[in-house]
Amino acid sequence: MTPKATEFAPAPARPAEPAHSADPAVIVVDNIRHRYDGRMALDGVSFQVRSAELFGLLGPNGSGKTTLFRILSTLMLPSEGRAMILGRDAAKDPNGLRRQIGVVFQAQSVDVKLSAFENLRHQGHLYGLSGAPLRARIQEMLGRVGLADRANERVETFSGGMQRRVELAKGLLHHPSVLLLDEPTTGLDPGARRDLWQYLRILRDEEHVTVIVTTHLMEEAERCDRLAILNQGKVVALGTPAELKHEIGGDVILLEADDPESLAQRIRARFPVEAAVLAGKVRIELENGHRFITDVVEAFPGEIQSVSVSKPTLEDVFIHRTGHRFWTEANGEAAAAKKKH
Ligand code: ADP
């Protein structure tokens, strides 16, 4: 059945096993540092990505995601350190590497005055593809991204989500086994975002493509097999979303009070817990948080205006590792919130 223009095809099948830790690394990022005019944008970043892994680079604005993305996609040389992809050094063999990786940039690269088919044909020519094999591959890719029935329409008539899918088809036309995507869902509505992530899973599961995706959205990071969380150019956490959240152990309690600083201080004096003030609320990480609630409310009668107990999120992992919230005034909370909606 031909998929509708709003869907990817076919439905994803989950892999029996996630990438095994003994698998050789497909991407090795080794102690990369990068300075722009004296400003340290990446400060000793190291991690490895295994075959057919969906790997996320999560970080707030200014954390270094784009800089790292540019280094991995061979557009920039790091000041120090090394990025190896499929055994090739991104700095020493950029041309060889470009043939083996697919890159989807945040900025639009398709020509909207051309049809989807024409855009892909140009891309194919750049990679030395032509004739019947190229036509077949274009049809295959447009089918994969759910645009087979729109092949000959100009890209300017497509929705944002559909345009992004043409970008994806472009990035994948030459059969790369590694795909790099920089904030691929920026500007997409929730449905189109879901579609895109579904397609990334299909790529991983059915074509065993290794995918690195940068994002500043927690809910997207949750969908990755593993992630590196960046803050001010450093990896502050590395692991599966479940592992990272598990490390906090227990619950996160938030208390609202008129004077949170004073309350936090008195809680610390009275109970064996770490109570900190974050964004105007007292925040405590604790096993069996619900039991502590009764004790704390009774200990400070009338002072606590609201209580919440929740399982840790990736934002809590970030706070745990850095001592501050993911979005702050400094890294553009307002801008990020706007981008999100
Ligand atoms: P992110 O993609 O996570 O927002 P970037 O890699 O764009 O982060 O930026 C990391 C740091 O490097 C920030 O402090 C940013 O201001 C700085 N930076 C990025 N690009 C340049 C540049 N071309 N010149 C100088 N500083 C830059």
Domain boundaries, the chain: 25-239, 245-340
Instruction: Output the pLDDT for position 106.
Output: 87
Distance from Cα 304 to the centre of ligand 1, integer Å: 41
Closest ligand 1 atom to Cα of 67: 6
| Beta strand 226-231 pairing with 178-182 | unpaired
Q: How far is the CA of 284 from the centre of ligand 1 (A)?
A: 33
Query: Distance, CA 41 to ligand 1 centroid (Å)?
Result: 6
Q: How much is the mean pLDDT over the chain?
A: 89
| Confidence (pLDDT) at 337 | 47
Average pLDDT over residues 95-103: 93
The reply to whether 245-340 shares the fold of 25-239 is no
State pLDDT tens for residues 29-59: 999 999 999 899 999 999 999 999 999 999 9
Q: Which of 33, 34, 37, 66, when mutated, tests ligand 1's pocket best, judged by the most ligand atoms within 8 Å of its CB? A: 66
Distance in angstroms (rounded) separating the CA atoms of residues 38 and 35: 6
For residue 91, how far is its CA from the centre of ligand 1 (angstroms)? 20
Residue 117 in this model has a pLDDT that exceeds 90: yes
Distance (Å, whole) CA 263 – CA 285: 16
Ligand 1 atom index nearest CA of 61: 4
pLDDT tens-digit series, residues 72-84: 999 999 999 999 9
pLDDT at 22: 58
Residues with CB under 6 A from ligand 1: 36-37, 39, 41, 59, 61-67
Q: What residue owns the CA closest to ligand 1's atom 25?
A: 36
| pLDDT value of position 21 | 52
- Supply the pLDDT for residue 332: 57
Q: In what order do the strands lie in the sheet with 88-89?
A: 39-50, 25-36, 80-85, 88-89
Tell me the best of 36, 70, 213 to mutate to test the pocket of ligand 1, counting ligand atoms within 8 Å of each CB and taking the most. 36
- pLDDT, one tens digit per residue, over 212-270 is 999 999 999 999 999 999 999 999 999 999 999 998 878 999 999 999 999 999 999 99
Ligand 1 centre distance from Cα of residue 249 (Å):
34
Residue 262 CA to ligand 1 center (angstroms) comes to 38
Given the CA of residue 70, which atom of ligand 1 is nearest to it?
6
DSSP per residue over 271-331, as a string?
A: SSS-EEEETTEEEEEETTHHHHHHHHHHHSTTTEEEEEEE---HHHHHHHHHSS-SS-TTT
Residue nearest to atom 12 of ligand 1 (CA): 41
How many angstroms does the Cα of residue 261 sit away from the middle of ligand 1?
34
Q: How confident is the model at residue 339 (pLDDT cuts 50, 70, 90)?
A: very low
280 has a pLDDT exceeding 90: yes
The pLDDT > 70 percentage for the chain reads 89
For residues 266-277, give the mean pLDDT. 94
Q: Phi and psi for 56 in degrees, rounded to 5? A: -105, 140
Determine the average pLDDT of the residues in 196-207.
91
Residue pair 228/38 in contact by the 8 Å Cβ criterion:
no
Are residues 263 and 255 in contact, defined by beta-carbon separation less than 8 angstroms? yes
CATH classification of 245-340, choosing from 3.30.70, 1.10.1390, 3.40.50, 1.10.287?
3.30.70
pLDDT value at 328 more than 50: yes
Candidates 34, 37, 39: which one to mutate for ligand 1, based on the most atoms within 8 Å of Cβ? 39
Instruction: Check pLDDT > 80 for residue 338.
Output: no
**C-alpha span between 117 and 225 (Å, rounded):** 33
Phi, psi of 154 (to 5 degrees): -65, 140
Q: Which of 169, 198, 168 is nearest to 184 (CA)?
A: 168
CATH architecture of residue range(s) 25-239: 3-Layer(aba) Sandwich (3.40)
* pTM recorded for the entire structure: 0.85
Residue 304 pLDDT: 95
Q: How far is the CA of 62 from the centre of ligand 1 (A)?
A: 5
**How many angstroms separate the CA atoms of 127 and 35, rounded?**
33
Res 135 pLDDT > 90: yes
pLDDT at position 34, please?
97
